[in-house]
Amino acid sequence: MKLVLAMVKHETNTFSPLVTDFARFEAWGLYTGQAAIDAYGKTNMPLGVYLNLAREYGAEVVLPMAAEAMPSGPVTADAYKRLTDPILEAVRAGCDGCLLDLHGAMAVEGLEDGEGTLLENIRKIAPDLPIAVTLDLHCNLTPKMVNNCTALIGYKTYPHVDMDVVAGQVGRVVMDFLAGKRAKPAMALRQLPLLSQTLCQGTDDEPMKSAIQACVDEEAKGLPCASVFGGFAMADITEAGTTVITVGNDQKQADTAADAIAAKVWDKRDLHIYQHRDLGDTVAKAKQTGAKNLGGPVILLDHADNCGSGGTQDVMMVIAEVLKQGLEDVAVGAVWDPAAVEAMQKAGVGATVTLDLGGKSDMPSLKLKGKPLKVTGKVKTLTDGEWIVRGPMYTGYKVMMGPTAVLEVDGRMQIVIVSRHHEPWDTGVFRSVGIEPEHKKFLLLKSRIHYRAGFAPLAKATFTLDGEGVTTSDNSIIPYRNVRRPIYPLDKINDWQDAAK
């Protein structure tokens, strides 16, 4: 038995000004062949599970591409071709099955559905090839993806700490089919006219908590796989939105379960929309909470500038407000500003520097200009930005933030400044530069929900700060032009089935 394993992952924010070229994938970590096996074989990511499954089934493995890039703007056509051509060539060379780790929200220059097109191209080469696919919970699932694979599944957790679990689940379904141990699975797709916001998709909270529980309940009845994809609303593409997919032993089982889950998701549609609050008022409340000496940090979320959803990670609005209100003992993770890091390297540890920090990126899609913040502080730390994830998300993976520095401002705030975009989902973003996050009074994180993977056990309180950026949850300023209509909340909809038609 010969298997082609591959990973190509990107969450595309079509409003982001950040260019997603081949170099951006290389910066995160792009591997092929044995190097890919070495990089992912001991991680809890889907490729690690697929490699274990291949060994269990005694299969030869070909791994032509393992690539991921931090979310940003549309993938260039050149990068897409260079990422996907090796996979197509490996399939063309002959194989018995294909196990893929994809994201599900990749938009490419001139192409809205990167994953669906890749799967369609594989099917053109090998029409009957068994194909398993794992997808991110923020996948904008399309009929093209479903129609061109054997079985697919999405993560049931956000933050994504079950990647290994779901990969094993769908991988075993397809491997058993390939080995003749089960009939070909049937799938049922339900596209809801719902543009759910990422900030409302934490699976420890409603509405996603009960949506995921509905999937678990159906699987407990014997359904092989059930998934709810919250979708990714920062992708202005036709088929953005929330979907349900079931993998059944037969079509009736799949359809019945999909309808039941979709109805439960739709009933809580109002909870998928975030309600904004005044930034100054929220910071003031956080300051009062922090003054109570809770014995651990208060989390401050600069969610509108989350690079994990395509943010520029250099918007200084929230940081400026926190400084203005005089919060003490704050650690910030992290600001993207390679020029600032270079200036701090030249100055050296212990030097006092004045910087125009951040604000290097204009965001024309939202008519926002970059606004640097002039700060004076001491260079506390300089590192290469490399460290290993020890927490529950991306466990064992090597993070490369690029040259990294810590600037201490007024003795009140320590700002981690990076040269490559990285969302702070693990405490390593601080520990790797000598900051012990559990002993800080405030942790200001440019994150939405993924921070919970590493920081939820430390947090004594959490405040969502509504600043500016291309990962905003304020629908009133997002210029949607391509998303299918009608769709809630942009349109008033009562019956999702009528709207879907």
**Rounded to 5 degrees, what angle do the CA atoms 440, 286, 362 make?**
90
Question: Is 375 among the domain residues?
Answer: yes
Of the pLDDT bands very low, low, confident and very high (cuts 50, 70, 90), residue 500 is low
What is the percentage of the chain residues whose pLDDT exceeds 70?
A: 99
Residues 78 and 15 in one domain: yes
Question: Is 177 among the domain residues?
Answer: yes
Residues 341 and 464 in one domain: yes
Residues 322 and 210 in one domain: no
pLDDT score recorded for residue 494: 82
Domain count of the chain?
2
* C-alpha–C-alpha distance, residues 324 and 345, integer Å: 27
Q: What pLDDT digit, counting tens, does each position of 307-323 carry?
A: 999 999 999 999 999 99
Q: What pLDDT digit, counting tens, does each position of 433-461 carry?
A: 999 999 999 999 999 999 999 999 999 99
Residues 268 and 355 in one domain: no
Question: Is 484 among the domain residues?
Answer: no
Question: Is 496 among the domain residues?
Answer: no
* C-alpha–C-alpha distance, residues 254 and 283, integer Å: 47
Domain containing residue 116: CATH number: 3.40.50.2300
Question: Is 492 among the domain residues?
Answer: no
Residues 229 and 286 in one domain: no
Side chain identity at residue 258, one-letter code: A
Side chain identity at residue 7, one-letter code: M
Question: Is 311 among the domain residues?
Answer: yes
Q: What pLDDT digit, counting tens, does each position of 23-72 carry?
A: 999 999 999 999 999 999 999 999 999 999 999 999 999 999 999 999 99
Identify which of 470, 67, 474 has the alpha carbon closest to the alpha carbon of residue 235: 470
Residues 284 and 266 in one domain: no
Residues 259 and 323 in one domain: no
Residues 321 and 344 in one domain: yes
Cβ-count burial 374-394 (b if 16+ within 10 Å, e if not): ebebbbbbbbebebebebbbb
The pair of three-digit structure tokens given for residue 384, joined into one six-digit string? 């290469």
Three-class SS state of 2: strand
**Rounded to 5 degrees, what angle do the CA atoms 394, 395, 398 make?**
75
**Rounded to 5 degrees, what angle do the CA atoms 489, 9, 401 make?**
105
Q: Structural domain of residue 321, as residue ranges?
A: 279-472
Question: Is 486 among the domain residues?
Answer: no
- Answer whether 385's CB lies under 8 Å from 353's CB: no
Q: Where among 253, 272, 291 does a domain terminate?
A: 272
Residues 466 and 330 in one domain: yes
Q: What pLDDT digit, counting tens, does each position of 325-379 carry?
A: 999 999 999 999 999 999 999 999 999 999 999 999 999 999 999 999 999 999 9
* C-alpha–C-alpha distance, residues 13 and 430, integer Å: 26
Residues 28 and 94 in one domain: yes
Q: Is the preceding omega at residue 334 within 30 degrees of 0, hence cis?
A: yes
Q: Where among 246, 272, 298 does a domain terminate?
A: 272
Residues 283 and 396 in one domain: yes
What mean pLDDT value characterizes the chain? 97
* C-alpha–C-alpha distance, residues 416 and 422, integer Å: 11
**Rounded to 5 degrees, what angle do the CA atoms 200, 205, 210 make?**
105
Residues 266 and 314 in one domain: no
Q: Where among 227, 249, 272 does a domain terminate?
A: 272
Question: Is 459 among the domain residues?
Answer: yes
CB-count burial class (<10 Å; 0-12, 13-18, 19+) for 207: buried
